[in-house]
Amino acid sequence: MAVPEFQRFFVPLLQLAADGEIHSAAEARARVAGELGLTEADLAEVLPSGRQFRFANRVGWALTHLKHAGCVEYPKSAHFRITDRGKTLAAEKHSRIDLKLLDRYEEHRQFRFAPAPLAGPAPPPPTEPTLTPEEQLEQAYREIRSTTTGELLDRVKKATPEFFERLVVELLLKMGYGRSREDAGRAIGAAGDEGIDGVISEDRLGLDTIYLQAKRWSENPVGRPEVQKFVGALHGKRARKGVFITTSTFTADARAYVSHIDPRVVLIDGKQLTEYMIDYGLGVTTRASYELKRIDSEYFLEE
């Protein structure tokens, strides 16, 4: 099963803490995972950033909400204990506890809806979000990035062939290929030789070369025949490496073909091209940057 949304963890966490003892966050995760029948694959699922496990993140936020509702307290780092308020809530035997129920407590309402300092009043979040704050941020990031890649690809498709050639040069230089802008500029677009549009150094020392093919197509996908023509040109040059870039897409047959041939050929379609443009800061600017902080537990360790 998929990892449940974090509100599902309120009841099992209170049940675990109902004995009044101090429990560790690790113990809580193990107990909840067992009760919900989560598999190793479920527990290994990570957030899109790859920096946190989704299950651990959601259990952590469930405990955070319980703490701000006054239902549990943290006697020491990464450990929690139920409070009298939490015992009262657990005794009510709710089959489900959600954020709306926790909002009966003023402290929890302040935690959820209080405006950020110096930022003015913030709109309240949905009554029952299913994602943790980190997941909401990452979801928003993915949506914004997806929109940006779409807009970038549309701009590139409408640009002139000369602009596209310069774009490819700039991107490869930002990725660390080519010895200089002048070297790369002379290489790309100058050959037009048997299906090869250019040659660029793999490194700044020029120890190896990469042959390029670039097609600024709007709609039609690049099929196997076009890729085979490029590979034939590579054989003619005794080349070992090639990159085929298009603003369109590649057919499944074309991708299957390059997966088992020599020389090594990398296919970059329009979506991947714009993903690289964002990753390497080409044609985009940073509008805003958000830095997330977490508690440094070691700082608070007692001597």
Q: What is the pLDDT of residues 72-130, one digit of tens each?
A: 999 987 899 999 999 999 999 999 999 999 999 999 988 887 654 444 444 444 445 67
For residue 303, pLDDT beyond 50: no
Q: Pick from 80, 63, 61, 53: which is nearest to 130 by CA?
A: 61
Q: What integer pLDDT is reported at residue 63 of this predicted model?
A: 93
Tell me if 206 is assigned to some domain.
Answer: yes
- Average pLDDT, stretch 246-251? 94
Check which CATH number belongs to the domain holding 24 and give it.
1.10.10.10
Residues whose CB falls within 8 Å of the CB of residue 119, separated by 6 or more in sequence, listed in order = none
Residue 90 domain boundaries? 6-126
The SS3 call for residue 47 is coil
Overall domain count for the chain:
2
Alpha carbon distance 58, 287 (integer Å)? 29
Position 264 confidence tier, pLDDT thresholds 50, 70, 90: very high
The backbone region for 120, taken as left when phi is positive above 0, alpha when psi lies in -120 to 50, beta otherwise, is left
pLDDT of 210 > 70? The answer is yes
pLDDT in tens, 5-58: 999 999 999 999 999 999 999 999 999 999 889 999 999 998 877 778 999 999
Res 172: pLDDT: 87
Write the pLDDT tens digit of every residue in 283-301: 998 877 777 787 776 666 5
157, 211: one domain? yes
51 located within any domain: yes
Same domain, yes or no, for 12 and 120? yes
Output the pTM of the full model. 0.61
- Interatomic CA distance for residues 27 and 300, integer angstroms: 21
Helices 25-36 and 54-68: crossing angle in degrees, nearest 10, is 110
Q: Per residue in 124-179, pLDDT tens?
A: 444 456 788 888 888 788 878 888 888 899 889 888 888 888 888 889 888 888 77
Q: Is residue 143 part of a domain?
A: no
Higher pLDDT, 250 or 217: 250
Read off the CATH number of the domain in which 185 is found.
3.40.1340.10
What's phi and psi for 164, nearest 5 deg? -60, -40
Separation between Cα atoms, residue 119 and residue 193, nearest integer Å: 59
Take residue 142 and report the two structure tokens written for it.
């993915």
